[in-house]
């Protein structure tokens, strides 16, 4: 499928809707993912990210709208969609009692990969994720990062054109997360696989070519990380003062800027050339009969977090555990007890 800009599109979503009973998890979203780009879905838990992935990989049926993956409709051409995609789920989907080899072998059987292809590709992929010497080990002996790498290798065994990654580094330590990203970037350079990923880690979203910001089932913005950050505009000054209310009023009166209050009660001001603006603020505050005391001030470049707050009006919050999260926790406990 070729769009107006001449890009090939790997994923095309048009007014997609998904309801669970009365709850609309995905609310008329439309977007397009170009071939061989890394496209990120950024949003809090419960925003509709996993639901969207599940529709795109044919696990869920859309309530309304349409979606095509590699040119195949997800409702009418499920088998073709499934053959042409690879998925790394948020929750582990390896059989831990089996060895890595057996997990890969079973995958190859289900994707109807010939014995020769399987042998060649599995060696190649296990080398790519540095697990060659662990091939015959049971997966239960693997660390969290190793399991993820094995899942990536397995997901690529049938040469998918699009790889879906649902929170690929969730629950991994920062070092392992960086490591996983090295593999993913290498993968994109070497094989031009399109990647569609969801995350609620801001720093991780920076790795994407383009990001869709999603909240309450709707896409708020789609752009490159750099362009999104430009929307915040210039620099961010964070202030702590003795009297925030008075301070923001004076900022408005004297400088014509709107300050907003951050989650910890600090004042946040968006401005061009923040380094030059700080002295002016302090001057303004110390003027007059009723000076405002500045307790701390800091200056920084906007992050995607700021973009998110600006566009949605709230921070990416940790949501209360839903029933699935509870099941997941219980599972971890069960897993520990079993060992």
Residues that bind other proteins (CB under 8 A): 57-61, 78-80, 82-83, 85, 87, 89, 91-95, 97-98, 102-103, 106-107, 109-112, 138, 154, 323-324, 327-328, 330-331
Query: Based on CB atoms, which residue is closest to other proteins, 31 or 118?
Result: 118
Closest to other proteins by CB, 73 vs 102, is: 102
Question: Is residue 39 within 8 Å of residue 197, measured between CB atoms?
Answer: yes
Q: How far is the CB of 257 from other proteins (least distance, A)?
A: 49
* Gyration radius from the chain CA atoms: 24
Q: Across the beta sheet with 259-261, what order do the strands follow?
A: 259-261, 267-271, 235-241, 294-300
Give the H or E element holding residue 37.
Answer: none
Q: CB of residue 132 vs other proteins: minimum separation in angstroms?
A: 22
In angstroms, what is the minimal distance from the CB of 53 to other proteins?
10
What are phi and psi for residue 39, nearest 5 degrees? -115, 130
Closest approach of other proteins to the CB of residue 239, in Å: 46
Q: Specify the residue, 58 or 122, whose C-beta has the smaller distance to other proteins.
A: 58
For tokens 């002016």, name the residue.
280
Do 173 and 204 form a contact (C-beta atoms < 8 A)? no
Q: Which is nearer to other proteins, 78 or 303 (CB)?
A: 78
Strand 85-88 relative to strand 235-241, pairing? unpaired
**Residue whose entry in the numeric block shows the structure tokens 């002996």:** 141
Coil, strand, or helix at residue 326? Answer: helix
C-alpha span between 217 and 200 (Å, rounded): 14
| d(C-alpha 41, C-alpha 62), whole Å | 18
Q: Give the nearer residue to other proteins in terms of CB position, either 94 or 237.
A: 94
Encoded tokens for 67: 């979606």
Euclidean distance between CA atoms 64 and 68, whole angstroms: 13
Tokens 């801001």 — which residue?
202
In whole angstroms, the minimum distance from the beta carbon of 106 to other proteins comes to: 5
- Cβ closer to other proteins: 321 or 327? 327
97 vs 258, which CB is nearer to other proteins? 97
Please report how close the Cβ of residue 47 comes to other proteins at its closest, in angstroms.
19
CB of 310 to other proteins, least distance (A): 35
């Amino acid at each position: 499928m070729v769009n107006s800009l001449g890009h090939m599109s790997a994923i095309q979503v048009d007014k997609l809707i998904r309801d669970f009973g009365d709850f609309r998890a995905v609310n008329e979203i439309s977007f397009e993912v170009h071939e061989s780009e890394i496209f990120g879905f950024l949003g809090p838990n419960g925003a509709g990210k996993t639901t969207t992935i599940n529709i795109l990989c044919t696990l869920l049926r859309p309530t309304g709208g349409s979606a095509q993956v590699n040119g195949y409709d997800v409702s009418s051409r499920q088998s073709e969609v499934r053959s042409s995609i690879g998925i790394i789920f948020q929750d582990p989907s390896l059989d831990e009692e089996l060895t890595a080899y057996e997990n890969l072998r079973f995958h190859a059987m289900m994707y109807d990969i010939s014995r020769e292809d399987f042998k060649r590709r599995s060696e190649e992929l296990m080398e790519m994720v540095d697990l060659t010497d662990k091939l015959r080990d049971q997966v239960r002996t693997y660390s969290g990062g190793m399991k993820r790498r094995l899942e990536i290798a397995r997901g690529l065994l049938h040469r998918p054109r699009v790889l879906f990654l649902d929170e690929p580094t969730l629950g991994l330590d920062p070092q392992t997360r960086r490591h996983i990203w090295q593999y993913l970037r290498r993968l994109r350079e070497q094989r031009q696989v399109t990647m569609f990923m969801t995350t609620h880690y801001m720093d991780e979203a920076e790795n994407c070519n383009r990001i869709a910001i999603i909240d309450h089932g709707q896409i708020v913005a789609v752009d490159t990380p750099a362009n999104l950050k430009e929307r915040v505009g210039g620099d961010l000054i964070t202030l702590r003062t003795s009297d925030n209310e008075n301070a923001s009023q004076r900022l408005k009166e004297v400088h014509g800027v709107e300050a907003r209050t951050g989650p910890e009660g600090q004042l946040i001001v968006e401005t061009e050339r923040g380094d030059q603006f700080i002295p002016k603020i302090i001057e303004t505050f110390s003027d007059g009969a009723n000076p405002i005391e500045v307790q701390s001030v800091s200056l920084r470049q906007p992050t995607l977090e700021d973009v998110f707050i600006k566009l949605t009006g709230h921070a990416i919050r940790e949501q209360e555990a839903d029933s699935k999260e509870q099941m997941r926790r219980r599972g971890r406990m069960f897993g520990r007890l079993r060992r």
